[in-house]
Amino acid sequence: MIREAIEDDKINILKFCENTFSWGDYIADVWDYWQTERNLFVFEKNFPIGICHAVFLKEHVWIEGIRIKPEFKRQGIASKLIKHVESLAIEKQIHSSLMLIDTQNKPSLEMSQNLGYRSYQTWNFYSLLPGKNNAFEISYANTLKENEFPHYVKSWRWIPLEKETISLLNRKNCIIHSGDEHKSTAILEDSEHFKKTLIVTLFAGSDSNTVNLLYFLQNHGFEKKYQRVQILTKETLPKFENLDFKLSFHLVQKLLS
């Protein structure tokens, strides 16, 4: 049975969401947020053995946080959760589904391909340590056009960059760029789920313009007392002190009938 999560599920589910990655897992940090947002689904077989969360947007449904209790993996449970979300999306007349999968996660990539997903883009995740500096030249963008970039990252969800969204980001001074020719552009958003975390979508131009942005982001993170600056980009960034590459992801997409 697939159903909405309830508060009593939390303890049992978090027990099998502790060591998903080499560094642990983030489900314990976002569980309460996701339950408030709703569409946190549980696969139950006498007791909870799988979860996933869905965000239904106008253009697509975003599927995240798929976790299966280890002894029940390879039984098609993740596929059933994804199909459940897809069916709800179709009822809402949403025409595509997106997920983010680590490029090294071969089982999940194979599963997504079997379900009809195809790699749409590949993104890189970098971590930048905040620090004081004075060497940057940036300006706030007011010329970002609709469709110039299809998505930006908000709390690790790929959100369409529509006209209204661009206007809101501009009013909040969240879009910055460096240079005119081969300019680099960054969109800044506070994480909704993690404290003192800045999430940056970076569209890199020339190396020199990108380095200017990195200087700004490092100093901005220091002045605003962020603990983490997380950068998501499709490009390979130039070497920069205290900038660490973490991993790459495939953004996979499926068109829903």
pLDDT at residue number 150: 87
**pTM for the predicted model, two decimal places:** 0.92
pLDDT in tens, the chain (257 residues): 999 999 999 999 999 998 888 788 999 999 999 999 999 999 999 999 999 999 999 889 999 999 999 999 999 999 999 999 999 999 999 999 999 999 999 999 999 999 999 999 999 999 999 999 876 777 776 566 666 788 999 999 999 998 889 888 988 889 999 987 888 999 999 999 999 999 999 999 999 999 999 999 999 999 999 999 999 999 999 999 999 999 999 999 999 97
Cβ atoms within 10 Å, residue 190: 15
Phi, psi of 178 (to 5 degrees): -130, 125
Q: Which long-range contacts (CB under 8 A, 24 or more apart) does 11-14 make?
A: 12/47, 12/48, 13/42, 13/48, 13/51, 13/67
Q: Which of 175, 124, 108 is nearest to 148 (CA)?
A: 175
Longest dimension (CA), the chain: 60
Say if residues 119 and 248 touch (Cβ distance below 8 Å): no
Which residues are within 8 A (CB) of 67 and not within 5 positions of it... i.e. 6 or more apart? 13, 16, 17, 20, 25, 27, 50, 51, 52
By three-state DSSP, how is residue 203 classified? strand
Q: Where are the beta strands (DSSP E) in 57-112?
A: 61-68, 96-102
231's enclosing H/E stretch is strand 228-233
CA atoms within 13 A on the CB side of 53: 17
Strand partners, 233: 124, 202
